[in-house]
Amino acid sequence: MNKLRFPEPFAQQKEFLRARERFVAYGGSRGGGKSFAVRMKASLSALRYGGIRILILRRSYPELYENHIKELRRSLRGVADYRDTDKSLSFPNGSLIKFGYCDADADAERYQGQEYDMIFMDEATHFTEYQFSCLTACLRGMGDFPRRFYLTCNPGGVGHAWVKRLFIDRDYRAGERPEDYRFIRSSVYDNLPLLEKDPSYLTRLEGLPSEMRRAWLEGDWDLLAGQFFSEFRRDIHVCEPRELPPGVRIYRAFDYGLDMLACLWFALDERGSVTVIRELAAPGLIVSAAAEAILSHSPEPVVATLAPPDLWNRQKDTGRSMWELFEEHGLRLSRADPNRVQGWMQVKEALCPRDVGNGEKEPRLQIFSSCHELIRCLTSLRHDPHTPGDCASEPHEITHLPDALRYFLRSRVTPARAKQEEEKSPLAVYYARRHGQGRKGRFN
């Protein structure tokens, strides 16, 4: 029998080989040594655990053959026997490495009833969440083996959103345990053997167009094909929660329907810089409960609350509007500008860095890192294929919080000012005259 030899793995690959979580994802940018890590982990596991069943998947058979079958047949020659009839490598200790592809959702259903102790999904963002769910059900068996699902991935592709949710945003649903998931970030800069062998590869990645370079070289998960807000950068637009300086003005804006109440709180300083400081996303609330939820999340005095114009429409059965119902429950509203294209343009402008002197630039909009849902939704919006300048309205569940952001940035709000100037705020004067507020510019 030939002696099996692998090149020395680098640090991130070693971390991948030693990982013990049930779901382990590896990658981030191109050239991070993902396929090699899969082949090495699968081979060592087959040799260590006699009788283990392993499945290696790619989206198409040509990719599967070039990246894994051909390479493992070469490296395991004399160690394991390859059978072309069922695309598998069998080991003398009874272990089996099976190769499969999954080009469509129907292909995933072919694996129902099969059992594997380890599954490797190479280039996981090329698979749909349905395919991932179907294959996860195959991770079972009676043998005393570790049962793990390994994924390699780069940003982009049809599976970008679900991979990002599980391993980058760590946004878990019922039945998903956070301790089961781990992401190991690797980039071409970590892969010194590749850079030594092909130094021009890095140059080619650095020469890519901006958005492609961010995804392929920098491994930026906040960028995806067709992303509406390609200006968004987590390192620029997301900041840790901090104490607000004195004098900032607090505003609210929300989008409302029985499917979702989506409300954001904004701090506006004297320079016109905006910070999203709080979010609320709650489904299934009637108007009274929605008003109570908004007010209970508002410890600071609020200058104004902006709401979509359709709340002013009168209901056919009662002749009353939801605006009246909100006001009856203590929430005074200002009508937001509903123009979508111009509103999204305002959001894009706010994301663009502006010159603040001394050669420094900063964006007009930042978001507290605690606003997880807004960040997730904002980075998931795609272009509307039919309306230039607009974002797609599907999937609908990710549009509510961005709509609240659009309402605020599209409205003519007044930055923080000295007290004598603050008394002259148009919104404050309007509400003071209408509601008889003794303290202008400050009401709930």
**DSSP for 274-316, written as a single string:** EEEEEEEEESS--HHHHHHHHHHT--S-BSEEEE-GGGGSBPT
């959103």: which residue's tokens?
161
pLDDT of residue 436: 38
pLDDT of residue 93: 95
For residues 131 and 393, give the distance between their C-alpha atoms in angstroms, rounded to a whole number. Answer: 25
pTM: 0.59
Q: 375 phi and psi, to 5 degrees? A: -60, -45
* In contact, 25 and 153? CB cutoff 8 Å: yes
Alpha carbon 343 to its chain centroid, in Å, reads 23
pLDDT of residue 435: 40
Structural domains for the chain:
11-216 (3.40.50.300), 249-435 (3.30.420.280)
pLDDT along the chain (444 residues), means of 10: 74 94 91 90 95 95 94 93 95 96 87 94 91 93 89 85 89 91 91 83 80 74 74 89 91 94 95 94 94 96 95 83 94 94 94 80 91 89 86 86 96 61 42 39 36
Select from 365, 128, 340 the least CA-distant residue to 136: 128
For residues 443 and 202, give the distance between their C-alpha atoms in angstroms, rounded to a whole number. Answer: 56
For residues 186 and 129, give the distance between their C-alpha atoms in angstroms, rounded to a whole number. Answer: 23
* In contact, 205 and 154? CB cutoff 8 Å: no
User: Residues with Cβ < 8 Å from 439, sequence gap 6 or more?
Assistant: none
pLDDT of residue 149: 98
